[in-house]
Structure 1
Amino acid sequence: MKYVTSLACINCGREYEPKPDKYLCSNCGEEGLLDVKYDYQEIKRDWSKEDLKQNYERNIWRYLPLLPVDPATTRPSLQVGWTPMYQSKALAKQLGLENLYIKDDGLNPTASLKDRASVMAVVKGQEGGATTVACSSTGNAATSLAGNIASMGGDMEAVIFVPERVPGGKLAQLLIFGAQVVKVKGSYEEAYYLSDKAIKKWGWYNRNAAINPYLLEGKKTAVIELAEQLNWDMPDWLVFSVGDGCTIAGAWKGLYDLKQIGFINRIPRLLGVQAEGCAPITESFKTDKPLETTSEDTLADSIAVGSPRNYRKALEGIKASQGSMINVTDEEILEMMQLLGQTTGVFGEPAGVAGLAGLQKMVEEDKIESTAEVVTVVTGNGLKDIVNAKRATDAPLEVKPDINELEKYLVKGEL
């Protein structure tokens, strides 16, 4: 916490001491989301790109000067971060681009970008004296918290609230990791409110990313990391799927941090992509009106958030970067799952590839030039949602164990 100066309300500007369990502004309530403030001048004096080159730690903790944690606090043993990034000429050609990079954050320990936030929750929970951390989730935040808690070897517990529609793969992860799972007979919104009441009643540490300002700081490491992987030469566009707004808000915070300490010279434009069946942030962006709650009618469960609580930070970041937003259909998401897999070997879940589907649409509508260099982050692994992965593909060819029958299909060109 050497470089953290305060927590500041994005609504009224009031500043607070950066305590681990300070979530919201005392004056503004749920409208008063807090932002972690740093002494950038001191970071610039103490830390450099050369220091990073000498650091052989390949996880998010290599960026410790830009993280609000006490270096002495015990950390989960899972290796979160330093996920691979690939340049894909084949997919770029399919999308009408010359330069496209894919960062596969589905290769984090529990298979999603949200490990970056959950590892922060476990550390901050300890700093706040908590032994139980809780959250509501459509799946990935839950599994990432459960996995990181499990890696603590029994020193902490996770209590997870999920809606009825949680995918089976994510539910299985939760149970394997030993979390206390509460499956709420209702929507994500109902699961969230029940978790909020339980957290307050029993004093658990709050891992809900839209409320806890420290979790966004973990999410921002995806962008800091990809900037380093690109040798600090930033692309023209960065693309993210958007649900509650925390991930793209974290992307903006990471870019802002890097610009302030002189690690990058320019900030790329941010593209946020939502599913058409659940797009309240896009609607607010395009109309410049206050956000209105919508239905959660999409197969992309991880971004199906009808009442997002971090939309203001998301919108501020997108607008500050001179970026944009766009929506995609479930059919376009399913098509992109297959296209991504066939051209790159990367298996993304529906929410994880929504950003790519939106990128394709932006290029087709001439809103992103073919010469633009683009990086998109695949936020979750396809093994999380096998049901929809099967929907995205054709059925396998079935034959008897007979070489002559197989030969008939070969002659017909069906293989």
Structure 2
Amino acid sequence: MFVRDLSCISCQASYRPDEVEYTCPKCGPRRGTLEVRYDYEKIAENLSKESLAQERACSIWRYLPLLPLESRHYIQPLKIGYTPLYRFERLAGEYGVRELYIKDDGGNPTASYKDRASALAVIKAQEKHRKVITCASTGNAASSLAGLAANTELKTVIFLPQSAPEAKITQLLVYGAQVFAVEGSYDQAYDLCSQVAERYGWYNRSAALNPYLVEGKKTGALEIAEQLGWEIPDKVIVAVGDGSVISGIYKGFYDLLQLGFIEAIPQIIGVQAQGAGPIKRAFERYDGNKVVIEDQQASTVADSISVGVPRDIVKAVKYVSAAQGFFIAVSDEQILAAIPALAHSTGVFAEPAAAAAYAGFCSLSEQGRLDRQDRVVVMITGNGLKDVSAARRATGVPHLVGANMDEVDRIVDQLGIAPGDLGGR
């Protein structure tokens, strides 16, 4: 492990990894989130573009020297990461950019980007000899944790809002987690989880609080750079709730820059729902000094980014500022419309929070904020089967017919589908 220290994002106090577990004791859990800092000279002795070209592990573990693990001992067989980066030339032309890529994390073991972070959390819990691991979640982080801990001796305890989609709750129960459905918001579930974890000494995987989660989430950026032949895109567009994923994307590119693998960090653009946008507001008020935090009561169809009290707000604001990026907001109507729009055009089925990133891309194009020479990556962080009810709200209904040709012929005629359109069949 090539970790040098843990550094507070606000006061820059430095701590040994064995000195603090979660956040800076001086600045507290919101402003005192910690950065994992590395000895890049030692990493460079163990990781190069050439060694990666020979690496056979098609998962996040191909970047092991850049991850804060003590050994390979607890690495599980499930394939996490190294997800597809699809290029869509026709869509790029339609939206007026040079190249458009979709980074699809829906194929991870539990169908979301959160598997990258949970993989590290499960290993760190075992390295610390904990018996129970817990987290608060809107659904994806929870199902990810439960799924990746299932092959270990860890017991998993989950806190999530009662309103979480049924598919995500079902995943938790199938994986064998103990589930506490909280009568309240995600933010209330988060606070309750933190209190319970502290009381019982459970290892807490909750977003932002645990400094190692960003290290798992940064692997998406490492993959993008490698998959593009170390030629970074101009823009990376990410949906934002707690702020941890977008912080991870920046951290991945930052690490590669320190190693000399890339020459610059791409512009990183965060997309928030209009009903859950405290990080966007904080960014717009940021003057390069203190991040002004103004929480809100979150309300959006995109449950995975329905966060009114974002825990990684300071990192997200500072990192996006450092990347010369910005935040935009999209409506629930735009998010729902983006689900079938993306699926019809690419075959990629995104849950609402993931579709928010694509809605943001479409909005930027409509506003003329994309350049014709831009190479753009849109992060799709979760599969649409996570929340089928939301997807159904954005689509039509099947054509109900009797078991006879007459009714089929009538509907085919209404739809204007001529035989020639079906290849003569």
TM-score, normalised relative to structure 1? 0.97
Q: 1:49-128 residue pairs with structure 2 within 5 A?
A: 49-128=49-128
User: Which region of structure 1 is more displaced relative to structure 2, 53-62 or 10-19?
Assistant: 10-19
The residue type equivalent to 2:246 in the other structure is: I
Q: 1:14-413 residue pairs with structure 2 within 5 A?
A: 14-19=13-18, 22-30=21-29, 31-152=31-152, 155-288=153-286, 290-413=292-415
Q: Relative to structure 1, is the Cα distance of residues 373 and 167 closer, same or farther in structure 2, using a 3 angstrom cutoff?
A: same
Aligned counterparts of 2:396 and 2:312: Cα–Cα separation in 1: 38
Unaligned runs of 5+ in 1: none
Question: What SS is found at the alignment partner of 1:186?
Answer: coil
User: Which region of structure 1 is more displaced relative to structure 2, 352-361 or 383-392?
Assistant: 352-361
Shift of 1:21: 6.4
Aligned counterparts of 1:143 and 1:259: Cα–Cα separation in 2: 33
Q: Relative to structure 1, is the Cα distance of residues 118 and 106 closer, same or farther in structure 2, using a 3 angstrom cutoff?
A: same
Shift of 1:73: 3.1
Aligned counterparts of 2:205 and 2:91: Cα–Cα separation in 1: 36
Q: For the Cα contact (< 8 Å) 1:116–1:221, is it kept in 2?
A: yes
Aligned counterparts of 1:272 and 1:371: Cα–Cα separation in 2: 20
Aligned counterparts of 1:52 and 1:241: Cα–Cα separation in 2: 29
What is the CA deviation profile of residues 266-324 of structure 1, one whole-angstrom value per residue up to 9, with x for unaligned ones? 21100000000110001111233612111211010000110001011111111111111
Aligned counterparts of 2:141 and 2:416: Cα–Cα separation in 1: 42
What is the CA deviation profile of residues 22-80 of structure 1, one whole-angstrom value per residue up to 9, with x for unaligned ones? 11112222221111010112222332111111110111111011100012431233211
Question: What SS is found at the alignment partner of 1:129?
Answer: coil
Aligned counterparts of 2:317 and 2:409: Cα–Cα separation in 1: 57
User: Which region of structure 1 is more displaced relative to structure 2, 64-73 or 88-97?
Assistant: 88-97
Aligned counterparts of 1:329 and 1:116: Cα–Cα separation in 2: 28
Question: What SS is found at the alignment partner of 2:369?
Answer: coil
What number of residue pairs does the alignment pair up?
A: 412
What is the CA deviation profile of residues 147-173 of structure 1, one whole-angstrom value per residue up to 9, with x for unaligned ones? 001122xx1111000101100110010
The residue type equivalent to 1:216 in the other structure is: V
What is the CA deviation profile of residues 85-132 of structure 1, one whole-angstrom value per residue up to 9, with x for unaligned ones? 100123323433331000101111000000000000000001111021
The residue type equivalent to 1:256 in the other structure is: Y
The residue type equivalent to 1:380 in the other structure is: G
Aligned counterparts of 2:64 and 2:407: Cα–Cα separation in 1: 61
Unaligned runs of 5+ in 2: 418-425
Partner of 1:10: 9
Q: For the Cα contact (< 8 Å) 1:117–1:209, is it kept in 2?
A: no
The residue type equivalent to 2:369 in the other structure is: K
User: Which region of structure 1 is more displaced relative to structure 2, 21-30 or 356-365?
Assistant: 21-30
The residue type equivalent to 1:59 in the other structure is: S
